Amino acid sequence: MASTRKLVNFPGILTGHGQRATCIVSAVQVTLGGTSVSAYTDYSITNVSRPLPDGDYELFANGEKSRVRLQDGSWLSAA
């Protein structure tokens, strides 16, 4: 069964270190052919509304909460 992939964007909120900032999250939405079942992969955080210090944050986006880390200007998964 084939799947379809498309790039999607949705708003997110980053919290941590007493900080709160909005952002845009880009991800690839993968949908299993012939169904409405989707999963998201290859997340990327962009357009953060304010400068944040390096460290661990919680990302609230698309109805889910994830742990992420800002390190030297790059966002990483903190699984």
Give the span between the Cα atoms of 43 and 46, in whole angstroms: 10
Give the span between the Cα atoms of 58 and 24, in whole angstroms: 14
Tens digits of residue pLDDT in 13-38: 999 999 999 999 999 999 988 888 88
Give the span between the Cα atoms of 44 and 74, in whole angstroms: 10
pLDDT at 37: 87
Give the span between the Cα atoms of 59 and 11, in whole angstroms: 10
Domain extents for the chain?
A: 3-77
